Structure 1
Amino acid sequence: MAFSIWSAIFSTILYYKLYIFILEKLPKCFTLGEAAVCTQSYTLLLYFTLVNVFQHVEKTPTTVMQMSTLTIQVGLFGISTIIFLTYLCGIRSPTKFYILTGSVFVFTVLLPLEILLKKNALLWILNLFWDDLQTNKVVLYWTVFSLVAIVSVNKRIKEAKKATTAVRKIFHVLTVAVFVPGLVYNCSFLYLASGVIFGIFFLLEVLRILNVPPLGQALQNGLVIFGDEKDTGIIALTPMYLLAGCALPLWIHPAPCDVTNSATFSLLPLLSGLLTIGIGDTAASIVGSRFGTHHWHGSKKTIEGTIACVVSQLLTICFLIFLDVLKLPTTKDHVKTVVAIIMTSILEAKTDQVDNLALPFVMYLVLIV
């Protein structure tokens, strides 16, 4: 009873303080709804990090998923500490920033994880990579697509050509190409990698804002070319929303990776982000901008784009079934899938919020009912 009361008071006060802070200090970065969702998510992250850390002080985590969860939570807490101290101390010097980052990383991430995991976290991650051939193949595959993305970005920056919405959607497709093999062949490593990359995104954004060499200026140049029209504040949130939206079902689904280290037994709900924003939103944007003529009432988005959103997701599911990667054994599964796709496609056309967060969550909820 006392723990429940403490938890409620802690979460409520933290949420209120963070929500007001975000709206006051980061104007134009969030709508009221987006600020509420992000603040709730961060509040839950901090709360469950505390709970998980206390649980494993005496009971060492044994499974890869348990160790990955703890690593992600402590790592994101350390990155939050870096950001908070950088803001609080008004750090602008690159030297001071790197000293702060190194010190905080050692004392709030590496040392606590050494105690909790009973092993060095960095060496454990490297062992996950080197000791498994399947993981080697998946990481090599990810590396190829990452290089393709980097080369494409550099080429666009050198050309100094502002990317259109359709061009930006290429990154949605690349995200799908990266996530699906990970879900099918090495679910637990994808789970860990998505959390680690999410934290790295925040650090890169700090480097960009502070213009910290060697990456600060390059990141700013990339934002100028690829920045979304919604990124009007100091923080460019669209890339983070894309990763979070695609990984959200994997993060919140109970026991997403089975004993074979694959997510195929519950793959459809875990595809919620990839289907809605990786496939559907991309198709809607490209078709709507090029061929759309009939607009939804009070919206810039077109009916043709919405139809493309629905059809592209249905075709993707049919293709995965054909490859025997996805199974829909019952009529109920088919009905839920169609309903979820239609609902989220209409939501994509009607919402003025960041759909990278809303669409995956809505589809996930429909599919797990």
Structure 2
Amino acid sequence: MAFSTMVSLDRSITTNLEHGAIKTRPAKSNGIWCHMLLPCILCTYCLMDSVSGLYKVVTVLSCGLFSYCSLFVTFLSMSSLIVKEPDYGGCMTSSLISTLMLYDFSFSFLTSTLTMFSFLWLLRYCLMKCPMTFTIGEAMIVLQGVILFAVSSVIRFLVKNQDENEDLSYIYFIVQVVLVAVALMVTVLFSLSKGLRSVKTLISIVLTGGTFILILFHYKLGPDFIPQFLKYVFINNNRGKLMVFWIILTGLSVCALLLRTQLAVKADTVTRKTFHVLASLVFLSGILLDLPLMLLAAGIGLGLIVFVEALRISDIEPVTTVLQAAFLVYSDEKDCGRFAMTPLYLYIGLASPLLLVPFYQPKYTLELLSGVLSIGVGDTAASWFGSKYGVNKWSDSSKTMEGTAFNILSQVATVYALILFDLLDTRYAIFRTAIAATVTSLVEAKTDQVDNLVLPFTMLIALQFTRLIC
């Protein structure tokens, strides 16, 4: 009954989007189930673990966003006007839900209202101004993540958490400053008139952004912050070897990118998965060997990826031409909009468990690896094996049953290898992985949403529920 209702809603939404001339990313479905993933993860952790006050606030806000998304989907199944014309009724209802679930009324009402209205504005903007970039579900889950991350960062900056680890406070401050600087630089970049878009202007923007970062670091961390940072990254806890390993992997990725771009030969799916493997090795080694350093690197890396993508569409020559050439070689059929979302989704899929999992203890290591296992190992293995040996295809899908089976086996084998080398110490890890990998592989076989985005969240939810039976 629920499935048939979902299908009926999806068809109505597709019809209304066509009538309203709203161009979403071409796909067989709109992915209207995706908006459930993030709130489900946050609520489950709140129910199963003793999480921090900030985590509870973000969870409650996610419930408000979930209620708004549900209303949005319902209204969109009736008319496309919900996208084109501002309708704040759903925002007020969802804000009220969040307010009633929080504690202090003034803080709750202000936070929830700003969250809901920001989400509404961004959702309408992305669907109207970024044609063929998102499906409805992809837009919802991406913007849920953006809004909740921004709100949590602001709260963490304004309200000092006495229970927070000093190491994590140091990392969060650096990441926040870098991301704010990137946001400001990107805003200035797109505010420039066409005549000012030059390399000289770009250098000025970068230097100004760098100066902004240095001033804040100097003010907060002291005049010796540069040697302090270098010591933290390269010397503390013997991190030098790990950093060298990451630098080598990054160098290999850049070399592969440049070589393929010079050849101007379109990369196939298996070739693109090479970057999945290299990126996954970075996150796998970081999560297993040095989580704080991985968190720091992931935050700074996100800023760099966003800035590079902004440069690609900024019309600053010759930078834009070079980046666009690389994009055309490595893009797939899902990158048909203005933005290159697939590589960004890959990065988010690998890094998001670092923010969603509330504790960095051995008990939670398997959940921290949900992105690595689902897209770095499973999806890559399924793609390779399915293209080479796949014969029997799933109904209404281009994915093969052989690829799905190898997806499951590769994830279980990876976890077994980690246990064998004493790198993973999570109870019932193989059993839990087998169940979660099966669920994730079936979703991968049937969904037409971007795998890099939805699979890590799906696997994380599956791993959460395996804790109930283990």
How high is the TM-score relative to the length of structure 2? 0.71
Could you tell me which of 350, 359, 364 is aligned with 2:446?
350
Q: By how many angstroms is 1:116 displaced?
A: 4.1
Q: 2:437·2:459 contact (CA, 8 Å) conserved in 1?
A: yes
Q: How far apart, in 2, do the equivalents of 1:27 and 1:122 lie? A: 43
Aligned residue for 1:336? 432
Of 70-79 and 338-347, deviating more is: 70-79
Where structure 1 has 5 or more consecutive residues not aligned to the other structure, the ranges are 259-263
Partners of 1:130 and 1:143 lie apart in 2 by 12
Residue aligning to 1:287: 385
Measured at CA, do residues 361 and 120 of structure 1 come closer, stay the same or move farther in structure 2, by a change above 3 Å?
farther
Residue 265 of structure 2 corresponds to which residue in structure 1? 161
1:280 Cα deviation from its structure 2 partner: 0.6
Aligned to 1:27: 131
Q: CA deviation at 1:114?
A: 3.9
Contact 1:110 1:120 in 2 (8 A): no
Q: Structure 1 CA distance, aligned partners of 2:293 and 2:365?
A: 16
Distance 2:315 2:238 in 1: 38
Task: Output the aligned Cα RMSD.
Answer: 2.3
Residue in structure 2 matched with residue 4 of structure 1 by the alignment: 108
Q: Does 1:88 align with 2:184?
A: no
Residue deviations 1:93-150, cap 9 Å, x none? 332233234324534x443444444567655432212433621100101111111122
- The partner residue of 1:47 within 127, 151, 154 is 151
Runs of 4+ in 1 over 6 A off after TM superposition: 58-62
Aligned to 1:319: 417
- 8 Å CA contact 1:52–1:70 kept in 2: the answer is no
Distance 1:230 1:110 in 2: 38
Corresponding residue number in structure 2 for 1:66: 169
Contact 1:310/1:341 (<8 A) preserved:
yes
CA distance in 2, matches of 1:120, 1:12: 41
CA distance in 1, matches of 2:222, 2:116: 33
Is 1:97 the equivalent of 2:202? yes
Q: What's the counterpart of residue 229 of structure 2?
A: 125
Runs (5+) with no aligned partner, structure 2? 1-104, 466-470
CA distance in structure 1 between the partners assigned to 2:206 and 2:129 by the alignment: 22
| Identity value in percent | 32
**Are 2:402 and 1:297 equivalent residues in the alignment?**
no
Q: In the alignment, what sits opposite 2:64?
A: none
C-alpha distance in 2 between matches for 1:7 and 1:317? 41
> 2:118 maps to what in 1?
14
With 39-48 and 1-10 compared, the bigger mean Cα shift is at: 39-48
* Range with bigger deviation, 67-76 or 10-19: 67-76
Give the distance between the partners of 1:275 and 1:26, measured in 2 at CA.
Answer: 31
- Aligned pair count reads 359
Question: Whose Rg is larger?
Answer: 2
Distance across 2 between alignment mates of 1:134 and 1:220: 38
Normalising by structure 1, report the TM-score. 0.90
Question: Corresponding residue for 1:261?
Answer: none
Could you give the per-residue CA deviations for residues 179-226 of structure 1, whole angstroms, max 9, x where no partner exists? Answer: 222122221111100110111001111222125356433322211111
Does the aligned pair in 2 maintain the 1:162–1:224 contact within 8 Å? yes
